Amino acid sequence: MSTSLWFPVGRIVPAADLVGREEFLQEILARIRAGEGVVISAPRRTGKTSLTLEALRRLRSEGWLVAHVDLLRSPNEAQLAEQLLDAVLENETGVRRTLSKLRQLTSHIAGKLELKAQTKEGLELALAYAATPPDLEAALEAGNNLAERTNRTICIAFDEFQRAPQLRPDAYAFIRSVLQHHQRAVYMFLGSQGTLLEQQFTRVGSPFWNFAVVRALPQVRPASWAAYLQRKFTEFGHPIDHVIAEEMAARSGGHPHCTMVLANQFLLALFSRRDLPQHLLLAAAYDAALDDLGATYDELYRSLAARSLAQETVLRLAREQPPYAAKADPTAVRRALQHLINQGIIRRRAKGSFDFCEAMFQAYLLRETDGP
Ligand SMILES: Nc1ncnc2c1ncn2[C@@H]1O[C@H](COP(=O)(O)OP(=O)(O)OP(=O)(O)O)[C@@H](O)[C@H]1O
Ligand SMILES: [Mg+2]
């Protein structure tokens, strides 16, 4: 059961609110149990991290060692090494940020060796790591080492893995060269820039070629959203009609983050204007949700200025015009389209036609550029 009074936004989704992911989760878990590495690639805020943490939680309850590291949290190689070691060691020590706590502790204890003699495998390893500056190779080995020493298996998830080359230019080749020897570790790689990360695993000759299977996160089905929304609004004491629930899922395009933002605005509207018909409240909530998303969307649109024709092309698509304007250089438009795909903004529906990954981004562009 979720304990929150609101729909979860901008944070990890608790299991009870993870909508429409059970089937995909089962598939991912089956692959991992079979020892197969998995890449999950999807646009931003579609639930990669939440799904992965739920997968790890379940594996853990089956006796697996697990670890999750987020490359966005580590600006350099040494910090990634520390984060990874901490995540691995936490399995045994039960302590978050084991290494820094241990360093504090050992600086007060003269007889370090006595402490070492009393501890479990993991803590013994931790002492060894705490004594030396973090080293990425050692950190990459730690999970598999711990699994061997404890006769278990470990699943390690690298979140925002597309950032690896920013920590170290040869990161992909280096990490692969270490991980490929591991017999007791299975790896997950998550990335938000679809194609670019995928290429590392699918292009012949790339460092991670064939190392893990690439799975795109499927869209949550409208029926799953509608059922969830009806259940939650009833739990919150504001039951809603199924037509309204379906309308909400349709207007958000089923994008997980957008749907949750819209659901919160609708809940707020129901709290304050219960007397009004729900379809009117939904229209107002939709506008307020676009305002909530506005800052992110403005930033996203601004970031496109760096690419020739990207802003023009995304606006044409928002207006459902063909992307190739009469006077535009077709090669430049093709590059702009590819950039929009790489950024997870649009996806190809059929040859020459595209969908927005976030229907509300499209609506926002229309509202802001074609408004009164
Ligand atoms: N299956 C889902 N059910 C309900 N809400 C979801 C689901 N997946 C994602 N969300 C919503 O999207 C938000 C982002 O989820 P999460 O951080 O797991 O996604 P992500 O793809 O890892 O995002 P990012 O690209 O920022 O790393 C959540 O706070 C929640 O509002
Ligand atoms: Mg994430």
Average pLDDT score over the chain: 90
What average pLDDT does this structure show over 77-105? 87
Is residue 256 in contact with ligand 1, taking CB distance under 6 Å?
A: yes
Give the tokens for residue 29: 């878990």
CB 161 within 8 A of CB 191: yes
pLDDT at 236 over 50: yes
pLDDT at 299 over 50: yes
pLDDT, position 109: 57
Q: Name the more confident of 131 and 241.
A: 241
Using 50, 70 and 90 to split pLDDT, how confident is the model at 132?
confident
DSSP strand pairing (65-70 vs 37-41): unpaired
Is residue 68 in contact with ligand 1, taking CB distance under 6 Å?
A: no
pLDDT, position 159: 97
Q: Which ligand is nearest to the CA of 25?
A: 1
Give the tokens for residue 12: 């990890």
pLDDT at 130 over 80: no
Residue 39 β-bridge partners: 189, 214
What average pLDDT does this structure show over 336-362? 93
SS3 sequence, 205-221?
CCCCCCCEEEEECCCCC
User: Lowest-confidence range among 36-40, 61-65, 189-193?
Assistant: 189-193
Q: Which of 52, 221, 225, 260 to mutate to test the pocket of ligand 1 (most atoms within 8 A of CB)?
A: 260
Which superfamily does 21-216 belong to?
P-loop containing nucleotide triphosphate hydrolases (3.40.50.300)
Using 50, 70 and 90 to split pLDDT, how confident is the model at 371?
low
Using 50, 70 and 90 to split pLDDT, how confident is the model at 55?
very high
Is residue 11 in contact with ligand 1, taking CB distance under 6 Å?
A: yes
Measure the CA–CA gap between 50 and 52, rounded to whole angstroms.
5
pLDDT, position 274: 82
What average pLDDT does this structure show over 166-188? 97
pLDDT, position 121: 62
pLDDT, position 118: 44
Is residue 46 in contact with ligand 1, taking CB distance under 6 Å?
A: yes
| Backbone Cα Rg of the chain | 24
Helices (H), the chain: 22-33, 48-61, 77-93, 98-108, 112-118, 121-131, 136-150, 164-167, 171-179, 194-202, 222-235, 242-251, 256-272, 278-303, 310-318, 330-342, 359-370
CB 345 within 8 A of CB 284: no
pLDDT, position 326: 81
Q: Which of 45, 57, 221, 261 to mutate to test the pocket of ligand 1 (most atoms within 8 A of CB)?
A: 45
What residue segments make up the domains of the chain, in order of their start?
A: 21-216, 222-298, 307-372
Using 50, 70 and 90 to split pLDDT, how confident is the model at 166?
very high
pLDDT, position 117: 42
pLDDT at 1 over 50: no
Is residue 292 in contact with ligand 1, taking CB distance under 6 Å?
A: no
CA of 37 to the centre of ligand 2 (A): 18
Percentage of residues of the chain with pLDDT beyond 70: 91
Residues in contact with 185: Cβ distance below 8 Å, sequence separation at least 6, in sequence order:
143, 144, 147, 153, 154, 155, 156, 179
CA of 219 to the centre of ligand 1 (A): 12
**Checking phi first, is residue 47 left (phi over 0); if not, alpha (psi -120 to 50) or beta?**
left
CB 127 within 8 A of CB 106: yes
Measure the CA–CA gap between 255 and 249, rounded to whole angstroms.
8
User: Lowest-confidence range among 38-42, 57-61, 69-73, 132-136?
Assistant: 132-136
What average pLDDT does this structure show over 199-214? 94
Residue-wise pLDDT tens digits, 95-122:
888 887 777 776 665 445 444 444 466 6
Is residue 21 in contact with ligand 1, taking CB distance under 6 Å?
A: yes
Among 212, 267, 205, CA closest to 239: 267
CB 194 within 8 A of CB 39: no
